[in-house]
Amino acid sequence: MDDDLVTFLRARFDEEAGLARRCGREWSACGDAVDFGQAESSGFDPAIAQHIALHDPARVLREVGARRRVLARHTLSPALGDPELPWENRDDCQFDGDLWPCDDLLDLALPYIGHADFPEQYAELMEQHR
């Protein structure tokens, strides 16, 4: 097993954080309008305006930070070369001892399943995980 999935996720998190940083800080909605901090746009369905404001850059940055911390906890503990071989001589998750990639790591990857760079070796595993 390798850590292509971890590399892929880190790249997605970097992209999202970089985009969020370029979009300002906090957005808010009032009725059919969204205040983007630098400009306001109106004419949205109020539910769409709320949805847009809910995904403001400040929140995206907090979410990316949380996902990075989860990813850091769920690292690969390879069986090969490990002085304390995981049970059954298999690769496991350093955090929970589950087969790697563990369910938490697969959950982090699920939103990106359609991404062009998604590591192919995990596509079938993701289908089983859904």
> pLDDT digits over 64-78, tens only?
999 999 999 998 876
Residues counted in the chain: 130
Confidence of residue 33 (pLDDT cuts 50, 70, 90): very high
Q: Which residue range(s) make up the domain with 67? A: 4-129
Instruction: Quote the distance between the C-alpha of residue 39 and its chain's center.
Output: 28
Confidence of residue 46 (pLDDT cuts 50, 70, 90): very high
Spatial CA neighbour of 77 closest among 96, 60, 62: 96
Give the position of tokens 């087969």. 99
pLDDT the model gives residue 73: 92
Residues 6+ apart with CB under 8 A from 63: none
Percent with pLDDT over 70 in the chain? 88
Q: Is the pLDDT of residue 55 over 90?
A: yes
Residues 6+ apart with CB under 8 A from 1: 76, 78, 91, 100, 101
pLDDT the model gives residue 106: 92
Q: Which string of b and e fits 108-124 if b means at least 16 CB within 10 Å?
A: bbeeeeeeeebbeebee
Evaluated on CA atoms 12, 14, 17, 20, the torsion sign reads negative
| Domains held by the chain: number | 1
pLDDT the model gives residue 13: 98
> pLDDT digits over 75-102, tens only?
887 666 555 655 566 688 888 888 889 9
pLDDT the model gives residue 123: 83
Ranges 8-12, 73-77, 109-113, most confident: 8-12
Task: For residues 28 and 123, give the distance between their C-alpha atoms in angstroms, rounded to a whole number.
Answer: 37
